[in-house]
Amino acid sequence: MRLKEEKEKDRLIPEIEKYKRLIMETELDILNNDKAIAKEQDKAVDLKDKINSLEKKKDIKREENERQTAAYLKIKDEPVRIGKGNENLKIAVNHLKSELEGL
């Protein structure tokens, strides 16, 4: 009976050790995975912050673009307006010259 128990014990000890190693490896894998998850969560937070920062910059640039477009639209026809004013002034000067010559 004792011999049978010894044989069974000798058979089970390596098996128990094998499962203990598997448990330790699995626990180590869990720890490594937890670290990897925490690292990825930190990256996600950093990326969200970067996205928010870029969104703010984009809004600022959009507002600047709108201001610049409004300023451009305001002055783009200025040369034409000045040209028409000059043309009207030229006509008035010529008209005054002809009146002056008539005197």
Q: How far apart are CA 42 and CA 36, in angstroms?
A: 10
- Looking at per-residue pLDDT, the higher value among 1 and 94 belongs to 94
Q: How far apart are CA 22 and CA 34, in angstroms?
A: 18
pLDDT on residue 10: 86
Q: Quote the Cα angle for 60-65-70, to 5°.
A: 130
Domain ranges of the chain: 2-102
pLDDT one-digit tens code per residue, 43-77: 999 999 999 999 999 999 999 999 999 999 888 88
3-state SS assignment for residue 77: coil
pLDDT on residue 19: 97
Sign of the dihedral defined by the CA atoms of residues 42, 44, 45, 51, in that order: positive
Q: Report the chain's mean pLDDT, rounded to a whole number.
A: 91
Q: How far apart are CA 47 and CA 62, in angstroms?
A: 22
| pTM higher than 0.85 | no
